[in-house]
Amino acid sequence: MRRTLATLTASATAGVAALALAAAPGAPAVADPPNPAPPKTPTAIGHGGAVSSVDPYASAIGLEVLERGGNAVDAAVATAAALGVTEPYSAGIGGGGYFVHYDAATGEVTTIDGRETAPADMQPDAFIDPSTGRPYRFSPELVTSGVSVGVPGTPATWDEALDRWGSLSLSDALAPAAALAQRGFVVDETFRLQTSENAHRFRTFTSTKELFLGDGLPEVGSTFRNRDLARTYRQLGAKGVDWFYGGRLAAEISATVQEPPLSGDTDLPVPPGSMMPGDLADYEALVQAPTRVGYRGYDVYGMAPSSSGGTTVGESLNILEQYDLSSMTPGQALHHYLESTALAFADRGRYVGDPAYVDVPTEALLDDTFAKERACELDPEAAAAKPVPAGDVTSYDGVCATADPQTADERDTEGVSTTHLTTADRWGNVVAYTLTIEQTGGSGIVVPDRGFILNNELTDFSTVYDPADPNRIQAGKRPRSSMSPTIVLEDGEPVLALGSPGGSTIITTVLQVLLNRLDLGMGLPAAVAAPRASQRNTAAVTAEQAFVDAYGAALAGYGHRFAVAGAPGSSASEIGAVAAIEVGPGGMLTAVAEPRRRGGGSAMVVDPD
């Protein structure tokens, strides 16, 4: 049964109400007054439903949907569509993602794999420059290309989620975001910074330059409108996803990938892709079982491959469960955290890829006995030399033996973009949803007149072809992801849901927040705000400056070395941007977003306490 959101125009939330009015047919385009951002709060406590995302416009739209009787899935899709407007460099219908759903009626956790796929004609040497015989330079050359664009999975994910669990039609779920795109949002520091960091790539394409660099960089405080996207959302709502995957838009997307609209303003080579309309027609969002591990009495559910999120977070938790972190000093506990993820990343690199193409030993990777054996490699007193080798999933008994010296995958070229949102409703349904267009700004290619950027997700394949690599390029395959939307249950009831952007640091960010909350005695706001570090089986630990300041000296005693993330002031100097919801006694909801990272996120509840 689908409800309608027609009454949204009467909303009391000033921003959203105005948005909906602006969407009315025939509304004058130029007379729109400014649309100030709703207030930004990193923590909200209350009942009746909650939304957490990086953006106040998006969270307000999700909240509005909940207030009007929509459920967590309706709110998640509406919030995601709004993020496609205000966070167009991180998410949108040109990308993909992973959706985890807890169904209060059945107690089941189910996931949707909306990952992008490689075109049927993609060749194993697609990332080799034919003019030199060598791989394209990764950035900015390979990432700014048609060859890196995968078939988008986001529209199919929204449609599948609404169809299975939602109460709104796609059209109604997209309406508030269409209105937001029409009316515009106020540019903040983060949007301006991300635009400026991408200006060279964006100038390469007529469509992107026109949309995002129109009269130069968008000024902080100015209003950014995307009427093309407003129209695209309305058409998608009215015509359905077949229009995207089998109709006019499929033809436009594949034409754009094959022949990106070059402006001639830069000398980037922009290798074209091979995507055909048939690749879009063949796309399927996959409904699949989650990963599950038991951890200190909780059940932690995540994304199974093609994402490596669930297996890598899960394996790390299984390793850490061998130790009593809560009785350790912070330095000891963090040493165990860093060493556990190095081990899990070694296994991720060796074993995880798209299960439709490679045999992924998901069960073994999540097996407690396997974790016990992996924990043999964790020296409580000293950091191991990195990279550590992968474990042997074919033969393990949990008994410590000499390590099998297999090589580990140390390459890491995933972006640090993406966005995550979490929703909960009054009926107890919960959604954790991470979506992306890969790196900030995706491929940089806007589909002309459509208002959205195409992803560069195929750069998540290993860039050098190795037949033994589970993440090698294969036609039709999904590149391995790190996205880790996670829902934690206790006695069958949800207690915590979270996720983050950040490329492969997503895995460690989600894990670190889980440990902060479940083991180290922090409340959720503190667990999210705490400084972060990420050990992905590399010689140095990537860490925020604040982490090095707080724990660097203690951890140096174990032999850990640190590389401070990004350049100071750049968007890469932060690790992750968590959006989480905790469900407490009596159904009390604590929605938490970042207090500072990415300019601070936005958490909202329907009935604040």
Query: How big is the CA angle at 434 (ends 432 and 439), to the nearest 5 degrees?
Result: 165
Task: State in angstroms the smallest separation of the CB of 380 from ligand GLU.
Answer: 31
Which range binds ligand GLU by CB under 6 A, 62-70, 340-348, 366-374, 433-441?
A: 433-441
Which of 11, 439 has the CB closer to ligand GLU? 439
Q: Does 571 bind ligand GLU (CB under 6 A)?
A: no
DSSP 400-456: --PPP-----------S--EEEEEEETTS-EEEEEEE-SSTTTTS-BPTTT--BPP-
Q: Is 439 in the site for ligand GLU (CB under 6 A)?
A: yes
Q: How far apart, in Å, do the first and last CA atoms of the chain sit?
A: 31
Shortest distance in whole angstroms from residue 443 CB to ligand GLU: 12
Give every strand in the sheet of 541-543, ordered side by side: 533-534, 541-543, 562-564
Alpha-carbon gap, residue 131 to 149, rounded angstroms: 21
Confirm if 285 and 315 have CB atoms less than 8 A apart. Answer: no
Min. distance of Cβ 383 from ligand GLU in angstroms?
Answer: 25
- Out of 501, 525, 600, 601, the only residue in the binding site for ligand GLU (CB under 6 A) is 501
CA distance 184 to 222: 9
Nearer residue to ligand GLU within complex by CB, 377 or 438: 438
Q: How many residues bind ligand GLU (CB under 6 A)?
A: 17
- 315, 321, 347, 438: residue in contact with ligand GLU (rule CB under 6 A): 438
Closer residue to ligand GLU (CB): 419 or 516: 419
Is residue 266 involved in binding ligand GLU (CB under 6 A)? Answer: no
Closer to ligand GLU by Cβ: residue 67 or 457: 457
Q: Which is nearer to ligand GLU, 476 or 523 (CB)?
A: 476
**502: contact with ligand GLU by CB under 6 A:** yes
Where in 7-36 is the site for ligand GLU (CB under 6 A)? Answer: none
- The encoded tokens of residue 515 equal 């440990």
Q: What are phi and psi of 88, to 5 degrees?
A: -70, -15
CB 511, min distance to ligand GLU, A: 15
Residue 250 or 575 having the CB closest to ligand GLU = 575
Q: Minimum CB separation from ligand GLU for residue 503, in Å? A: 4
Provide the angle, in degrees to the nearest 10, between the axes of the packed helices 14-22 and 170-183.
100
C-beta of residue 213 within 8 angstroms of C-beta of residue 221: no
329 is a catalytic site residue: no
Measured CA to CA in angstroms, residue 281 lies from 93, 236, 385, 519, 604 at distances of: 15, 15, 47, 46, 38
Tell me if 460 contacts ligand GLU by CB under 6 A.
yes
CA angle 265, 572, 218 (to 5 degrees): 45
CB of residue 481 vs ligand GLU: minimum separation in angstroms? 3
Look up residue 193 and give its two tokens. Answer: 């910074």
Residue in 23, 50, 180, 416 binding ligand GLU, rule: CB under 6 A: 416
Binding pattern for the stretch 396-415 against ligand GLU, x by CB under 6 A and - elsewhere:
------------------xx
> Looking at 230-238, 353-361, 431-439, 443-451, which segment touches ligand GLU (CB under 6 A)?
431-439
Report the C-alpha gap between 157 and 191 in whole angstroms.
Answer: 26
Look at residue 368 and give its three-state secondary structure: helix
Among 52, 418, 462, 538, binds ligand GLU (CB under 6 A): 418
* Nearer residue to ligand GLU within complex by CB, 115 or 225: 115
Q: Does 94 bind ligand GLU (CB under 6 A)?
A: no
Nearest C-alpha neighbor of 478 from the set 131, 122, 91: 122
Stretch that binds ligand GLU, among 23-31, 81-89, 434-442, 485-493 (CB under 6 A): 434-442
Residue 463 backbone phi and psi in degrees, to 5? -80, -25
Judged by CB under 6 A, does residue 537 bind ligand GLU?
no
Interface residue with ligand GLU, options 436, 462, 463, 537 (CB under 6 A): 436
Interface with ligand GLU, residue 594, by CB under 6 A = no
Per CB under 6 A, 443 contacts ligand GLU: no
Q: Which H or E run contains 103?
A: strand 96-103
DSSP state, residue 382: S
Q: C-alpha 148: how far from its chain's center?
A: 18
Tell me the one-letter amino acid at 62: G
465 to 484, contacts with ligand GLU by CB under 6 A?
481-483
3-state secondary structure string across 421-436 = EEEEECCCCEEEEEEE
Residue 279 near ligand GLU by CB under 6 A = no
One of 418, 440, 459, 538 is an active-site residue; which one?
418
Strand ranges inside 275-341, DSSP E: 286-288, 291-295, 298-302
Cβ closer to ligand GLU: 146 or 166? 146
- Find the length of the chain: 609
CA distances from 225 to 85, 135, 172, 193, 341 (A): 9, 38, 20, 17, 42
Concatenate the DSSP letters of all residues of 231-275 into one string: HHHHHHHHH-HHHHHHSHHHHHHHHHHHS--B-SSS---------
Least distance in Å: CB of 106 to ligand GLU?
A: 28
Q: Which is nearer to ligand GLU, 66 or 454 (CB)?
A: 454
In the complex, what is the shortest distance from the CB of residue 484 to ligand GLU, in angstroms, rounded to a whole number? 8
- Give residues in contact with ligand GLU (CB under 6 A): 414-418, 436, 438-439, 457, 460, 481-483, 501-503, 506
Report, as residue numbers or ranges, the catalytic residues: 418
